[in-house]
Every structure is written in structure tokens, then in C-alpha cells.
Amino acid sequence: MTDEHVYRKGPIELKRGQVPASTSDARLLDSAGGADWAHSDPWRVLRIQAEFVEGFGSLAELGPAISVFGSARLKPRSPEYEAARRVAAGLVREGFAVITGGGPGIMEAGNRGAVEAGGTSVGLGIELPFEQGLNEYVDLGINFRYFFVRKTMFVKYARGFVVLPGGFGTLDELFEALTLVQTGKVTGFPIVLLGSAFWGGLMDWIQEQLLGLGTISAPDAELLQLTDDPEEAVRLIVAGQAGLDAEDAARQAVARREGTPDGRARG
């Protein structure tokens, strides 16, 4: 039996002549569409809402988790694949679930390491023209139509991020997380880059260009941590969690003392 391309559209699988020419994201972002947008976009909001509800409902009881990002194109015998596998296994041993994009390459390695270590393996897939579907190591999988809904789930249910070499999608996920931490939209979760040969140039550019020009502050430049050792990456995540737990305890103590839910005195 020959392999057939399968197009996944949310919960629906399409083949051959049923495969659409564009994705849900592409249609949503198409500004050149006709006047029918006034009729279709309000209904599209309901589909977006449904994706959020499905994601929230599926992941609400996940527990502490770390998102692992990286390329779908790196092969199982590559050192990056093995590093992701070791990181995921180490995270599970520290009590974390592992969240990936659910695809092949680094994503598969992360899910594989989590399963092999006896942990919870989560895959958040996305509708793409040539999407291969969720890898075989995903225990809890959700397929999304919209990137922004998927990225919300990556961030909302993670307490840190480990980022391995990847392409534009990996960079998008990295800088989304970095911006949310920098702007205080999410707690200052640890962000660990794994692989100095790949990430070293980016780190130098951030220091020399962004910090040098003054477009970011010195604390912003310190939000990223870099290592070549998968075990060290796990230790950095664990250390970051300890710091966050201490901050949470301090805030709760202030809240109890001041009689307010967030630790701020009543005006």
C-alpha cells in the first residue's frame, strides 16, 4: 500500500481531491478576500473559541509541564534528536510533563524521551498543507487549526521552555515566550537554549546589537540561558522553578498579611 498524503483539518482527515488549497490560518489572514468576510468572519470566531475551549479542557489537569521546541526536520540519529530525548527524560524524572508540537524531529524526540521515562507526553499539532500528523510517542494530542491558539497552549500550561535548533517556527515560539516573559504577561519562567554552536551567534547578536543599541535592557538580555549539556538544561529549569516557587510563597505571605488576593494593600 502506497503512502497517501493525509490533510488534517482539526478533527477531520482529508485525502486526494478533498485536500483544500489553503489552511484555516491562511483564510483567516487573507485581507484580499471578497465582501463575504462580513458573513464568514463572525462565524469563524466560534471555531476559534471552540479550539480554545478544547485546549483548555484537555490540558487543565496536566500539572507542571515544560515545553520543548525544535526542528521537525532533524533525524533520529542526529545529536540534536538525542539531546532532546535526554532533556525530556530528565524533565520527567524531575516531575514535569513534556509538551511539544507533536510532529517529527525534535518534537518526536521530546515526546519519546518523556514516554521512555514513564512521564506524560503531550503533542499540540497544527493544520499545515503537508502536516504528517502527531508522532507515535504522543499520549495526549490535540490538533489545532490556528497557530495563535496553539501557541497559547504552549505558554499557558508550561512552567519553562527548552529550545533546541530549529527553523522559523522554532524561532517564532522562542520569541513569543521571550516577549511574554519580558513584558510580564507570564511569570518569569526559565528559557533554556540547548546547543551553543547553533544559538551562540544569536546570543552574541542580542548582546552586541539589541543591548548595544539600547533596544532592550540588561535584564532582558539575561532572560535566555545557554548550555550544551542536556542534564544542565534540566538543572537550569529546576533551579528556575525553585526561584519561582520562592517568589510565589513570598507573594502569598504578603497577601495573607495585607488581606488581599495579590499581596497589594487595599487603597
Structural domains of the chain in order of their starting residue, each with its CATH number: 54-230 (3.40.50.450)
Closest CA to 116 of 95, 86, 94, 141: 86
The per-residue pLDDT for range 173-195, each reduced to its tens digit, is 999 999 999 999 988 899 999 99
**DSSP sequence for 159-219:** S-EEE-S--HHHHHHHHHHHHHHHTTSS----EEEE-HHHHHHHHHHIIIIIIHHTSS-HH
The per-residue pLDDT for range 7-50, each reduced to its tens digit, is 666 656 666 565 676 776 676 677 665 556 555 777 788 889 99
CB 105 within 8 A of CB 200: no
The per-residue pLDDT for range 110-142, each reduced to its tens digit, is 999 999 999 999 999 998 877 678 999 999 999
Q: What is the signed CA dihedral for 130, 133, 135, 139, rounded to 10 degrees?
A: 160
Please report the pLDDT score of residue 131 as a whole number. 62
Report, as an integer, the average pLDDT of 83-104: 98
Q: Grid coordinates representing 22?
A: 489553503
Question: Residue 243's pLDDT band (boundaries 50, 70, 90)?
Answer: confident
Report, as an integer, the average pLDDT of 233-245: 91
Return all residues near 65 (Cβ < 8 A) that are at least 6 apart: 96, 97, 98, 99, 120, 122, 157, 158, 159
Q: How far is CA 264 from the centre of its chain?
A: 31
CB 262 within 8 A of CB 255: yes
Q: Name the DSSP letter for residue 145.
A: S
Q: What radius of gyration do the chain's Cα atoms show?
A: 20
**Global confidence as pTM:** 0.81
Please report the pLDDT score of residue 267 as a whole number. 35
Q: Report the alpha-carbon distance of residue 177 to residue 100 in Å, rounded.
A: 14
CB 83 within 8 A of CB 194: yes
- Lowest mean pLDDT: which of 29-38, 57-66, 247-256? 29-38
